[in-house]
Structure 1
């Protein structure tokens, strides 16, 4: 039982390790990495894959560390599939893999490519118990990781920075921070009982909703503003038209339903932006 707390054998250990792969939360950062590559125009698939693997390992590190802290350090969770030793080994392996990816980016592109990717792991590893105790960093940690993935994905392809990927990173940072406020509000009662300072706990559930949808509105307006000044192609405005109805329905629902709708709305938002940037149908 190196990894699994509940059973023994290779299959049990593999299941315990795979339990920390959460597709709903992992797919957006991976898509953000590829989105950054697409923004570069012609891109190297191998370099894009290396950066994507680095992002995956960073998010995996976050999930393992978060579960370890909540169960073994804070005693907040009732159960955890990994043993304490298994958590530490999994963290060591994911970190080692991440460092190998950084080395590959350093050698294949330049040192800056490694440095611009490193924050993905730092945000992931420090999420618990450092960043998740403050309402600002608890809210912006995951969105910031996605923003960094976009900029990093672009840099490894071009060995340079540009206004377009940075603007997209800002949009997703603001938009997803709003979604994260709603997501955190789902656990309002529990977080309040353990004195975890999410936005909902600090300002109350109703005000948290106002903050959340206000942030999303700012993100959508930013898309239109960037399109108006030709930073984004005109077709990027279509992403706003896709997301607004989803947000409108989500606003009427419970925190659980709103989170489900908004996360899927973000998938659509990203997909439309991808088509708009790559094909630029209105140009």
Structure 2
């Protein structure tokens, strides 16, 4: 027979009950965390192995998309899921549609002619003369980009009468300021680099390769310097005015994008920074 030995079973029961509640709470938190990790894992697998777009790539793995939640969470096996036939209205073609599409492009006529040896009538051997032309088709001609160097000179003028009288009178036209001092950059080349980078999304290392294919070793460092200098000295008045108009608007949109900035003072290379982009809306 086992004696009580002074054990307070009531106190022991309360301690065990408290331990069970704590363990249940811990288990619930673990299950919740496990569920979140599973959802995040499924999302990352879809982004890694599924179809990607430029938009999903730009989000990065740290930020979940706000726009594809319905597609990600939908389950076609559930009874509530009903597949409805969606009919798309095709844009009807009309006469002259192609002419309208090509109306903004310059047109060059290419006229096919017979060689001189064939300008002979097969009946009477008389010489054939042109009497008209007939349209055949449109063709889009692609003209690849090419580079050329613009050598800038100034003309020096002299007064010969003053020279004959022993005086030297010279005159030259004014020289336009360069886009970037001590640089061979032109307005067209800087504009093209910035358009490729910020409009078409072509990184500088790819542009470096494209410029080399066109015959010029233009480093990405030089292009980066062009962008920074032109932004500071030429575009600041424009962006300043855009900022003023934005502040006068009744509504504004903002977008926050995480980025990593190299060589940022006081921060590691892995430190996450943020870029905020603002835009107004068309107000009636």
Does the alignment reach a TM-score above 0.5?
Answer: no
Give the TM-score, by structure 2 length.
0.25
Q: Computing the radius of gyration over CA atoms, which structure comes out larger, 1 or 2? A: 2
Give the TM-score, by structure 1 length.
0.25
Query: Greater helix share, 1 or 2?
Result: 1
- Greater relative contact order (CA < 8 Å, ≥ 6 in sequence): 1
